[in-house]
Amino acid sequence: MGWLSLVAVAVALAMDAFAVALVAGLTLDPLTRRRVFRLSFHFGLFQALMPISGWAAGKAVRSTIESVDHWIAFGLLLFVGGRMVWGALGEQHGPAPRTDPTKGWDLVLLSVATSIDAAAVGLSLAMVGAPILVPAVVIGVVTATLTAVGMLLGRRIGTLWGRRVEIIGGLVLIAIGIRILIEHTT
């Protein structure tokens, strides 16, 4: 996977975290450096660890499904990207709870929820025989950065872009899945 594709995947995967960070930035009062760091660090860490776990699972079964790996990668990226778009176009959820998303179980649950898609991407990378260390680090750093940016922007612009960002992220994942399929079938 080239650098442009890797950064595109990282940005697409970070869209859920970015959207959550926008809302957190809007609702947290005061928005302190400590809160920005905690959310950014945890989102980035989980986003880096999930592709590694998906990749390890994919490596375990790669030799048995190598002839159809590109179809699996395409299907997983289509599923994840489609789910992101579907979720963004779906009904609005209720108002955000008044808890601090940068502490305790809320932080852990949000970290897991925003990074599950990354496990599927890790599995996809294993299916096409790509290495995982550099992609995991790039995904984690991009997510941490976009989380911090999202919190700061959330303070300024609110939730105007939240749904659109998820749609763009989902479409990028679908496009990358299509590119993998085209590269392996032509």
User: Does 128 or 172 have the greater pLDDT score?
Assistant: 128
- 65-78 burial, b at 16+ Cβ within 10 Å, e below that, comes to eeeebbbbbbbbbb
- The SS3 assignment for 56 reads helix
Question: How confident is the model over 113-166, as pLDDT tens digits?
Answer: 888 889 889 988 888 888 999 999 999 999 999 999 999 998 777 546 656 766
Residue 91: per-residue pLDDT: 52
Global pTM reads 0.73
Question: How confident is the model over 93-106, as pLDDT tens digits?
Answer: 544 445 688 998 88
Q: Assess contact for 59 and 66: CB atoms under 8 A.
A: no
Tokens for 88? Answer: 């963004």
Least Cα distance to 151 among 59, 27, 51, 58 occurs for 27
Residue 179: per-residue pLDDT: 82
